[in-house]
């Protein structure tokens, strides 16, 4: 599936932002809209058919991350899943503390450990709760040498009242992969009188690009987002041992008994079916998908270096373990701000992390937190390739970038 804009026939290089529906996924959704429209909670044939469709999708999602189907709960997307984990960890801490607390003892405030490079769906709810005085948060910085968070820095941030450690599996702006498995192993091996904190990873950018195995990762919770792997805009939350003495999960909403009383509301059967199909494709074709993305990404970066040289272009975090499809690219020099580059591009689309208002342009705080210098971060665009991106596409992109950068250089003189 080669994604082109139907009007301008532009090349799409913003797959980390969202992906189109895979053809098989669209067919699955369409079929479900036509044939499994019944209420999954109803016992008559139409309802039973819808329920069976959801059961199949749950198994497909579970298989894609090596989980049990009973450990999967469907959500509206990654934001809900991440907020749900945070709320659950806080409530579990409060319930546990009440049970274990002696009369008259001072109650501790729940503490959460995260990083400075998380998605807003994690960062903003934590800041909101912290500002309201409900929790304490430690934002662990990225190590300047390895360009990722280190295991020791995460473990050293854990306190007796730490109820949750939440770290993204791979960063959406740089593609850098975090050492989730090693962090989980170290936390699980900690000897402490306090309860082990729950462990969550937002894997929105990971599925369909790299292996996602919850048993290997050792996490209690994992967030999946359909529209990042050619599926619909819903999500799923993995909860280790859900309902069987594993990680806790407390409802955010109250109403019906859907999703085993964890998430009320009549299930969105067509989108759930599409999510299952997308997860199945991402898992079954992972090797070929990942290899193709890496080949195209590497070709892109080699072409950029060949055309501009390392004195004019910088590949941010390129030495760190990265997703196979992501390049954070900065052009060196005056008048090279990322938003200006994008304003002059006509033949392809990508993104920039800069927030620009009037004549002021502030670089992405995430890039700054990855220790990218201010002026370099300001001049950054993100190019993220997809399953069908070709070398011919890359040749066209690099050619246009060369023309645009040349034009901006002349204006700066």
The helix, strand and coil proportions of the chain, stated in percent and rounded to the nearest 5, come to 40, 15, 40
Residue 200, helix vs strand vs coil: strand
Between β-strands 326-331 and 355-357, what pairing exists: parallel, antiparallel or unpaired? unpaired
Which residues sit opposite 225 in a β-bridge?
235
Q: Residue for token digits 């890039």?
A: 367
Task: Please report which helix (H) or strand (E) contains residue 279, including its range.
Answer: helix 269-284
Helix axis angle for 269-284 and 286-308, nearest 10°, is 70
* Phi and psi, residue 115, nearest 5°: -125, 175
* Contact indicator for 246, 239 with CB cutoff of 8 Å: yes
Quick one: tokens of 71? 């450990």
Give the helix ranges, DSSP H, for 7-142. Answer: 23-35, 45-64, 78-100, 120-131
**CA atoms of 275 and 272, how far apart (whole Å):** 5
Number of helices (H) and strands (E) in the chain: give both, helices first: 13, 14
Q: CB–CB of 159/135 below 8 Å?
A: no
Distance from the Cα of residue 171 to its chain's centroid: 7
222 strand-pairing partners? 201, 238
Burial (CB count <10 Å: 0-12, 13-18, 19+), residue 244? exposed
146 is catalytic: no
Residue spans of alpha helices (H) in 309-390: 338-344, 365-369, 374-378
Query: Which residue is catalytic, options 163, 350, 356, 361?
Result: 356
Instruction: Name 4's bridge partners.
Output: 11
Q: How far apart are the first and last CA of the chain?
A: 42
**Angstrom distance (rounded) from CA 337 to CA 341:** 6
* Distance of alpha carbon 130 from alpha carbon 292, whole angstroms: 43
Active-site amino acid positions: 356
């Amino acid at each position: 599936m080669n994604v082109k804009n139907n009007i301008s026939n532009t090349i799409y290089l913003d797959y980390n932002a969202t992906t189109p529906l895979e053809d098989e996924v669209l067919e699955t959704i369409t079929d479900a809209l036509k044939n499994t429209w019944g209420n999954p909670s109803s016992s008559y044939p139409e309802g039973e058919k819808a329920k069976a469709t959801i059961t199949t999708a749950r198994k497909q999602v579970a298989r894609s991350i090596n989980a049990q189907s009973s450990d999967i709960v469907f959500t509206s997307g990654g934001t809900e899943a991440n907020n749900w984990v945070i709320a659950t960890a806080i409530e579990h801490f409060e319930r546990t503390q009440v049970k274990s607390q002696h009369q008259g003892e001072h109650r501790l405030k729940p503490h959460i450990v995260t990083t400075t490079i998380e998605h807003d769906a994690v960062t903003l709810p934590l800041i909101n709760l912290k500002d309201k005085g409900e929790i304490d948060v430690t934002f662990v910085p990225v190590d300047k040498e390895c360009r990722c968070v280190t295991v020791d820095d995460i473990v050293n941030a854990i306190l007796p009242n730490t109820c949750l450690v939440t770290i993204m599996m791979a960063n959406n702006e740089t593609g850098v992969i975090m050492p989730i498995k090693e962090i989980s192993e170290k936390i699980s091996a900690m000897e402490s009188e306090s309860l082990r904190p729950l462990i969550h990873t937002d894997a929105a950018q990971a599925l369909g690009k790299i292996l996602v195995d919850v048993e290997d990762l050792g996490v209690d919770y994992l967030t999946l987002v359909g529209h990042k792997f050619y599926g619909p805009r819903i999500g799923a939350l993995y909860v280790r041992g859900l309902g069987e003495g594993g990680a806790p999960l407390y409802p955010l909403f109250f109403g019906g008994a859907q999703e085993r009383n964890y998430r009320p509301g009549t299930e969105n059967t067509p989108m759930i079916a599409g999510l299952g199909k997308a997860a199945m494709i991402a898992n079954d074709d992972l090797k070929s998908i990942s290899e193709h993305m890496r080949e195209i990404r590497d070709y892109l970066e080699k072409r950029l270096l060949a055309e501009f040289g390392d004195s004019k272009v910088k590949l941010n975090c390129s030495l760190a373990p990265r997703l196979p499809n992501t390049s954070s690219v900065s052009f060196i020099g005056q008048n090279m701000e990322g938003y200006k580059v994008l304003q002059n591009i006509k033949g392809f689309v990508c993104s920039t992390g800069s927030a620009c208002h009037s004549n002021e342009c502030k670089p992405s705080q995430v890039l700054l937190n990855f220790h990218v210098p201010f002026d370099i971060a300001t001049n950054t665009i993100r190019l993220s390739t997809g399953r069908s991106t070709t070398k011919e596409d890359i040749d066209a992109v690099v050619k246009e970038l060369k023309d645009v950068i040349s034009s901006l250089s002349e204006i700066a003189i």
